[in-house]
Amino acid sequence: MAREFKRTDRVADQFQRDLAVLIQREIKDPRLGMVTLSYVKISKDLGYADIYLTVMPIGEQTQEEAVKSSLSVLNNAAGFLRHELARGIKLRVMPQLRFHFDASIERGRHLHSLIEKAYQQEETRAEGSADEQE
């Protein structure tokens, strides 16, 4: 019988929890926006951990500026974060951390707005045809 969860999945879940706390408490860079870790994927050989995140801009920043500056800060702090993770998680090999912007949230919002727009157009078309039949 196969296991319910693979080891890399369990390690990825633990990375996500620990990294969220570390980013919130330890990184005090003002360029860092409000970061939410959405997904962590770890390679099978534990060589790399790809961390996907979303960023909410702070102050006068645009979304693109916030993403660019936050990714820069986190990629520069990857060594520190990796060291801190290694203190709490005992693994023979600690994966290299790579941070990526998760665009799936934005794509979901865009698709939702397109569906809403199509639905509204269909309702107005249906009301127009009902008025013509009377």
**For the chain, which residues make up each domain, given as ranges?**
7-102, 104-134
List strands edge to edge, sheet with 34-42: 34-42, 48-56, 96-101
66 near 57, Cβ under 8 Å?
Answer: yes
Q: Which residue has the tokens 């962590």?
A: 40
Strand 48-56 relative to strand 34-42, pairing: antiparallel
User: From first to last of its 134 residues, what are the pLDDT tens digits of the chain?
Assistant: 456 668 888 889 999 999 999 998 888 888 887 888 999 999 888 899 999 998 888 788 788 888 898 999 999 999 999 999 999 888 888 899 999 998 887 788 889 889 999 988 888 888 777 666 66
Token pair of 92, please?
């023979």
Residues 6+ positions from 103 with CB-CB distance below 8 Å: none
- Domain 7-102 class in CATH: alpha beta
pTM greater than 0.85 (yes/no): no
